[in-house]
Amino acid sequence: MTGEELAKAFVDHYYKTFDANRALLANLYQDHSMLTFEGNQFRGAQAIHEKLTGLPFQQCRHVISTVDCQPSGMPDGMIVFVSGTLQVEGEQHVLKFSQMFHLLKGPTSFYVFNDIFRLNYA
């Protein structure tokens, strides 16, 4: 699998899981993982899980516009940069967002070490 294939497979898996049952996203983070969500910082799978499951909507749908990736310099490390739109239940308008992930290889699979999310307000 090339880096690009890995990045696309990760992005596909991440947002499908987010939209279907985002509690399961916690499996993609470890204790030293970091999330910056709209400027608020969370550290560790548990804190990230609480933030993601506590978001004030139940149903949502991500549509991905672009996926870019580069090796990060860490062993097997990969930076993935995503842009797309997010439709939240009860909202007429879609929200544009950008998000970056730094994926590292764990004992059994890749996990998210860095995660930064921002809405792109019009």
Binding site for a second copy (CB under 8 A): 34, 36, 39, 66, 68-74, 77, 79, 81, 83, 96, 98, 100, 102, 104, 113-114, 116, 118, 120, 122
CB of 66 to a second copy, least distance (A): 6
Tokens of 62: 């991500």
Q: Report the residue number, 21 or 71, with the smaller CB distance to a second copy.
A: 71
Between 3 and 17, name the residue whose CB sits nearer to a second copy. Answer: 3
Tokens 């506590």 — which residue? 54
- Burial letters for 30-53: b for 16+ Cβ neighbours within 10 Å, e otherwise? eeebbbebeeeebebbebbbeebe
